[in-house]
């Protein structure tokens, strides 16, 4: 497939990329935003599972985290180079990689879904089974990862606070934010 130029993508045609810590709601909210805007939705983890025929925990268990990060990087670069107008939810660790931050910030509109540690903690039990990064970690160790990850999420175009909002409310807020940006013909930051 021919690689699209990353320059000069009109604001309205840019992919909308959702970043943030695991469990903040990127997959749930991304799907809702896509429905509300009649756009295609790509969940990068689901895309990897489909492309490689394995569930994410299985990839970690059989091939290790480094391999997962490599295919995560290749998948995201491929999406950024070959898709437009999509809503794209990344995995929470994707922005650890500079190459991913670069390609997303250069070609997409990056929205950071923010959730406080206190609200996130209440959700932890729901998340553990399918998130290998959380396995065999104490709450203090997870909080350390949560705190360390905030620096990588600091690179974004707009931040959306999700505390005390349900997924539908967050999605509605994002849709309004995007429409405002499109009216102004520029990404909101």
Ligand X SMILES: Nc1ncnc2c1ncn2[C@@H]1O[C@H](COP(=O)(O)OP(=O)(O)O)[C@@H](O)[C@H]1O
Binder to Mg ion among 14, 16, 18, 27 (CB under 5 A)? 27
CA distance 180 to 183: 5
Site track 95-114 with ligand S3P (rule: CB under 6 A), x = hit: --------------------
Whichever of 26 and 156 has its CB closer to Mg ion, that residue is: 26
Q: Does 56 bind ligand S3P (CB under 6 A)?
A: yes
Nearest to 96 by CA among 120, 116, 66: 66
Cβ–Cβ < 8 Å for 113, 81:
no
Minimum Å distance from CB 40 to ligand S3P? Answer: 18
CA distance 1 to 46: 21
Whichever of 85 and 133 has its CB closer to ligand S3P, that residue is: 133
Backbone angles phi, psi at 113, to 5 degrees: -85, 115
Binder of residue 28, out of ligand X, ligand S3P, Mg ion, none (CB less than 5 to 8 A by kind)? ligand X
- Residues of this chain, 123-152, that bind ligand X according to CB under 6 A: 123, 126
Q: Six-digit token pair at 2?
A: 């021919």
DSSP secondary structure code for residue 96 in this structure: G
Count, residues near ligand X per rule CB under 6 A: 16
Q: Is 2 annotated as a binding residue?
A: no
């Amino acid at each position: 497939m021919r690689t699209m130029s990353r320059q000069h993508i009109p604001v309205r045609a840019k992919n909308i990329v959702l970043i943030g810590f695991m469990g903040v709601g990127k997959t749930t909210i991304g799907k809702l935003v896509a429905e509300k805007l009649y756009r295609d939705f790509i969940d990068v983890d689901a895309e990897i599972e489909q492309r490689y025929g394995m569930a994410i925990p299985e990839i970690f268990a059989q091939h290790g985290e480094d391999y997962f990060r490599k295919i995560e990087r290749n998948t995201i670069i491929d999406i950024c180079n070959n898709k437009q107008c999509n809503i794209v939810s990344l995995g929470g660790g994707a922005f650890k990689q500079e190459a991913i931050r670069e390609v997303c910030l250069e070609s997409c509109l990056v929205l950071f879904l923010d959730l406080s540690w206190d609200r996130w903690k209440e959700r932890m039990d729901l998340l553990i089974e399918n998130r290998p990064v959380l396995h065999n970690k104490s709450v203090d160790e997870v909080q350390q990862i949560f705190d360390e990850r905030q620096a990588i999420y600091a690179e974004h175009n707009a931040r959306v606070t999700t505390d005390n909002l349900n997924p539908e409310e967050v999605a509605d807020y994002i849709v309004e934010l995007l429409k405002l940006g499109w009216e102004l013909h520029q990404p909101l930051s």
